[in-house]
Amino acid sequence: MEFQPTREFAKELDSRDELAKFREEFYLQPDTIYMDGNSLGLCSKRAESSLLELLASWKRYGIDGWTEGKYPWYYLSEQLGAKMAHLIGAKPEEVVATGSTTVNLHQLVSTFYRPEGKRTKIVADELTFPSDIYALKSHLRTRGFDPDTHLIRVKSRDGRTLNESDIIDAMTDEVALVLLPTVLYRSGQLLDIELLTKEAHAREILIGFDACHSIGAIPHQFSQWGVDFGFWCTYKYLNSGPGGVAGLYVNEKHFGLAPGLAGWFGSDKDKQFDMSHDMEHAQTAGAYQIGTPHLLSVAPLIGSLEIFDEAGIERIRKKSLALTRYMMQLIKSELSGYGFYIGNPTEDHRRTGHICLEHEEAPRICKALKEKLVIPDFRAPNVIRLAPIALYTSYEEVWDMIHRLKVIMEEQTYKKFKNEREVVA
Binding site annotation covers 378? no
Say if residues 220 and 211 touch (Cβ distance below 8 Å): yes
Q: Give the residue from 189, 125, 185 showing the smallest Cα distance to 154.
A: 125
Binding site annotation covers 61? no
Binding site annotation covers 235? yes
Binding site annotation covers 210? yes
The letter for the amino acid at 271 is K
Say if residues 5 and 333 touch (Cβ distance below 8 Å): yes
Binding site annotation covers 265? no
Binding site annotation covers 278? no
The residues, ordered by sequence, that sit 6+ positions from 117 with a Cβ below 8 Å of its Cβ are none
Say if residues 201 and 299 touch (Cβ distance below 8 Å): no
Say if residues 284 and 267 touch (Cβ distance below 8 Å): no
Binding site annotation covers 131? yes
Binding site annotation covers 102? yes
- DSSP of 78-121, one letter per residue? HHHHHHHHHHHT--GGGEEE-S-HHHHHHHHHHHH---BTTB-E
The neighbour count for residue 98, using CB atoms within 10 Å, is: 28
Instruction: Classify 339 in phi/psi space as left (phi over 0), alpha (psi -120 to 50) or beta.
Output: left
Binding site annotation covers 341? no
Cα–Cα distance between 172 and 170 in angstroms, integer?
6
Binding site annotation covers 132? yes
Binding site annotation covers 15? no
Give per-residue burial for 59-72: e unless 16+ CB within 10 Å, then b. eeeeeebbeebebe
Binding residues for pyridoxal 5'-phosphate: 101-102, 129-132, 210, 213, 235, 264, 292
Residue positions forming the annotated binding site: 101-102, 129-132, 210, 213, 235, 264, 292
